């Protein structure tokens, strides 16, 4: 499941993952991992709303034409990247609030989710890059029956994991009770 990266001359992968700094990659990588699990190709870019505003708008403006169909954008603090990308494209943009050293991501969340009427950003939880990847899959699956079936299998797998944990807890709780 090799991702097509940004130097590819062929059509762009369907998901673009953008972030303001490579320091966001350890958080944002989980979106890429989720996409890989579904065999959905992606490209990852460092684009800064504040340091390279025009390059950021250029990338956003060209994305749909290049074949990108969903954008995942992560940013922290006064997090402007998701909203600015959304202003320059018709594609659905998923925003990931990246928590910084202070305020535990609350500033990131409010800066991303409280967009004015006209330009929506689909916001996920603080640090929730994995869910951003899964949301991108759901969006693509809305017009791709095979991907929709894969998501069904994934959700069944979540349920099975819960059943396994349920059984494991039974054993563990028995032991805790015996020993406690």
Q: Which residues are annotated as a binding site for substrate?
A: 21, 24, 51
13 binding a second copy? (CB under 8 A)? no
In the complex, the smallest distance separating the C-beta of residue 33 from a second copy, rounded to whole angstroms, is 6
- Residues of this chain, 56-85, that bind a second copy according to CB under 8 A: 57, 64, 69-70, 76-80, 83-84
Using CB under 8 A as the binding rule, whether residue 92 contacts a second copy is answered as yes
How far apart, in whole angstroms, are the C-alpha atoms of residue 45 and residue 31?
13
For residue 12, the minimal CB distance to a second copy (Å) is 13
Residue in 9, 10, 117, 146 binding a second copy, rule: CB under 8 A: 117
Candidates 9, 10, 163, 179; binder of a second copy (CB under 8 A) is 163
Distances (CA, A) of 13 to 68, 115, 133, 178: 6, 27, 14, 54
Does position 39 interact with a second copy (CB under 8 A)? The reply is no
Give SS3 for 67.
Answer: coil
Dihedral angle, C-alpha 151, 152, 155, 161, nearest 10 °: -110
Q: What angle do CA 67, 123, 145 make, to 5 degrees?
A: 50
**Cα–Cα separations (whole angstroms), residue 42 to 85, 86, 153, 164:** 17, 18, 21, 32
125 binds a second copy (CB under 8 A): yes
| Residue 175 makes contact with a second copy by CB under 8 A | no
45 contributes a contact to a second copy by CB under 8 A: yes
Annotated binding site: 21, 24, 51
Question: Which one-letter DSSP state was computed for residue 91?
Answer: S
């Amino acid at each position: 499941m090799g991702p097509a990266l940004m130097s590819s001359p062929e059509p762009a992968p369907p998901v673009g993952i953008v972030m303001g700094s490579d320091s966001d990659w350890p958080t944002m990588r989980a979106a890429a991992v989720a996409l890989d699990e579904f065999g959905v190709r992606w490209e990852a870019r460092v684009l800064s709303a504040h340091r390279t505003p025009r390059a950021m708008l250029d990338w956003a403006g060209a994305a749909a034409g290049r074949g990108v169909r969903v954008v995942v954008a992560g940013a922290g603090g006064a997090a402007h990247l998701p909203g600015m990308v959304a202003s320059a494209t018709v594609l659905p943009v998923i925003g990931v609030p990246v928590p910084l050293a202070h305020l535990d991501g609350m500033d990131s969340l409010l800066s991303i989710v409280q967009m004015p009427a006209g330009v929506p950003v689909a916001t996920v939880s603080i640090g929730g890059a994995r869910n951003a990847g899964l949301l991108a899959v759901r969006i693509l699956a809305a017009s791709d029956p095979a991907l929709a079936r894969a998501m069904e299998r994934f959700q069944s797998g979540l349920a099975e994991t819960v059943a396994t944990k349920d059984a494991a807890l039974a054993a563990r709780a028995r032991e805790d009770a015996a020993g406690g």
